[in-house]
Structures are given as C-alpha cells and as structure tokens.
Amino acid sequence: MGRSSKDKRDVYYRLAKEEGWRARSAFKLLQINDEFHLFEGVKKVVDLCAAPGSWSQVLSKKLRGDKGDVSDAKIIAVDLQAMAPIPGVVQLQGDITKVSTAQEIISHFSGDQADLVVCDGAPDVTGLHDIDEYIQAQLLLAALNITTHVLKKGGTFVAKIFRGKDVTLLYSQLKIFFPMVTVSKPRSSRDSSIEAFVVCQNYCPPEGYVPNMSNPLLDNHYDVDFNSLEGVNRVIVPFLACGDLSAYDSDKTYPLELTPGKEYQYHPPTQSPIHPPYQTACELKKKDMLSKPSSAATPTGKESAASAG
Ligand code: SAM
C-alpha cells in the first residue's frame, strides 16, 4: 500500500496532516464548536482521553492563540498514554476512572472547577459490536463521574458516545445531570460509524448529589430494560448534524488535488505516538518477524513465535 493511499481515501486524515493536527479528530471538535460555540467565556478546560492530542491542540489554539501564550486559560489533558508536549497544555498521564486523577486536575486549577470538560475516549476496539458498545458506555460513565468532580455548575460536558441499542440508558443518565443534552454528529465523523458526540449543557447535579466513581450501569437497581420505558420515563435526546454541512463528507473519496492548480504533496503524520502499546508488533512486522497464522503445512504458533524471537 502506497504512502498516499490513506490520504486518498480519507480527506480529513490528509487535511489534518496538512494543517498540523495530530489526528483527524481535531475536525470533530472544531465542527461541534461551530454549532455550539463551546469555547465562549471558557477559562478552564479538561481534555479527558486526550492522546495523541489533536483536541488539546484545538483547545490551545482557540483559548490561548497559535503559540499557546495569548491568554492564561488553563487546559489540562489526561490520558493513560504519554503525549508529546503541546504549548499551554498541562498533561497528566493517568486513568480517568480514578478519583486521584480528579484530585490532581483540581489541584492544577488551584481548587477551582472547569468551565468545560471534553472526552473523546475510546477503548481498544475488539470488533465485537456488543462488547465495544458496552466498554464505550463504561468509559463514558467514567468520564461523567470524573466530570461531576471537576465541572462547575452551569458548565458543559462533551463526550464521544456510540449510538448502540442501549444508548437511551446513557441519555437518561446524562439528563440527570444536565437539563440540555444533544447528540451531535460532525461531518468528519463517518456516517458508517455509530460514533456521535453528546453535548451536555448547564451542569446541574441533583440536590444533595455527592460526586463518586461508582458505575450506575453495574448497579443492580439499574437492571431494567430501558428501551421499554415510555412517556415521561423515556428521555428523548435531540439529534443534530453539526458543523458546516458543505464541509467534506468523511465517507467520500476526494481527488488528491483539492485546490485546482495546487499539486498534491504528501505530509507525514504531525506527531506519531511516543510509546504506543503496538510498537513492538510494528517493529517485528517491519522485519517480517511476526508469527504467521499456523496451518497444517506451517509450524505451530508456538514454534513460529520461537523462530521469530
Ligand atoms: N481526542 C484525541 C485526539 O484528538 O488526539 C484522541 C483520543 S483517542 C480516540 C482515545 C484515547 O482514550 C486513547 O489515547 C486512550 O489511551 C484513551 N483512554 C482510554 N481509556 C482511558 C482511561 N481509562 N483513562 C485515560 N485515557 C483513556
């Protein structure tokens, strides 16, 4: 496969490199912002599950200017993975399911709370849809839990969600904390993907709510079929396609020369991950040392691995 083949297939992948974003996801946050003006008046923001950092780049650019030094807006990025530095962004390598991470975030805000929390978190996808949807839901709830520790009343929470069959349960849970919940689908998010983003506005926890890290999906009393709920018990969340609708369609293939007369130029990725978990596998693959699937004619998996090592 040539170096330009992904550039050809995916216009947002190509534009991200041309414009210096670390991932094509940058366009998703930009397009959500086009619709919701998320950054107006924002001084403190948390980017959960931030690596490799394209959302943090957007936050830094929008809140602190091109070089990250125009304002004193505080941006805190959290991820399990290490991230290369971004001007004006404080990075915490940590787990969003841990209360200690919430405490660390607050300590960087000198005890204050955030105006905005964003989360583009995704677990490693298994390809088994039910499991992927379930794990994504768990991550969203973890993001909601940590948000209840760090977000100020009236603040906004934006998070990736998979619109799977139990998504109404998640909407109901979000509506407990936010009177306004909208599902948005940026143009840069493929139609073929069940991914969308919830934009939850005007944080208002129930009276007496004490932030904690427990997971309501795993609590027994939540063990009901939420799809069977009706009337006022069923929460309907509006769905909105967002961003400029004349923007590129992420499911379409575009010619490599987008600007007439401007020759296509290949750009390497803006910032490769620093210690990705798949690094060893990539190095072995380059040297053709990855064990091949075993068959009757080839050695067993164990023997292949031994000969590869
Ligand atoms: N928004 C990022 C960007 O624009 O570059 C891309 C985020 S990537 C799709 C999903 C990230 O979620 C991964 O970097 C992964 O390490 C992170 N993640 C998954 N589970 C996490 C957890 N429990 N705590 C912190 N980060 C987590």
Per DSSP, the residues of 112-151 read --EEEEEE---PPP-S-HHHHHHHHHHHHHHHHHHHHHHE
State the Cα–Cα distance between residues 24 and 54, nearest whole angstrom: 8
Pocket of ligand 1 (CB under 6 A): 22-23, 25, 49-55, 78-81, 95-97, 120-123, 139
Could you list the active site residues?
160
**Nearest atom, ligand 1, residue 26 CA:** 4
Cα–chain center distance at 66: 22
Q: Both tokens of residue 1?
A: 């496969």
State the Cα–Cα distance between residues 31 and 226, nearest whole angstrom: 31
State in Å: Cα 162 to ligand 1 middle.
15
- Spell out the per-residue pLDDT of the chain, length 309, in tens: 567 788 878 899 999 999 999 999 999 999 999 999 999 999 999 999 999 999 999 999 999 998 878 888 999 999 999 999 999 999 999 999 999 999 999 999 988 999 999 999 988 888 888 888 888 988 999 999 999 999 999 999 999 999 988 888 889 889 999 999 999 999 999 998 999 999 999 999 988 888 877 664 444 444 445 455 555 555 556 667 776 768 888 888 888 877 788 888 888 889 888 888 888 888 888 898 887 766 554 444 333 333 333
Reported ipTM? 0.99
User: Alpha helix locations (H) across 69-210?
Assistant: 99-108, 129-150, 167-177
**Nearest atom, ligand 1, residue 97 CA:** 23
pTM: 0.79
Q: Indicate the angle between helix axes 167-177 and 129-150, nearest 10 degrees.
A: 0
For Cα atoms 210, 56, 259, give the angle at the middle one, nearest 5 degrees.
140
State the Cα–Cα distance between residues 297 and 280, nearest whole angstrom: 27
State in Å: Cα 123 to ligand 1 middle.
7
The dihedral through the CA atoms of 92, 94, 95, 100 has a sign that is negative
Q: Both tokens of residue 253?
A: 């293939």
State in Å: Cα 32 to ligand 1 middle.
18
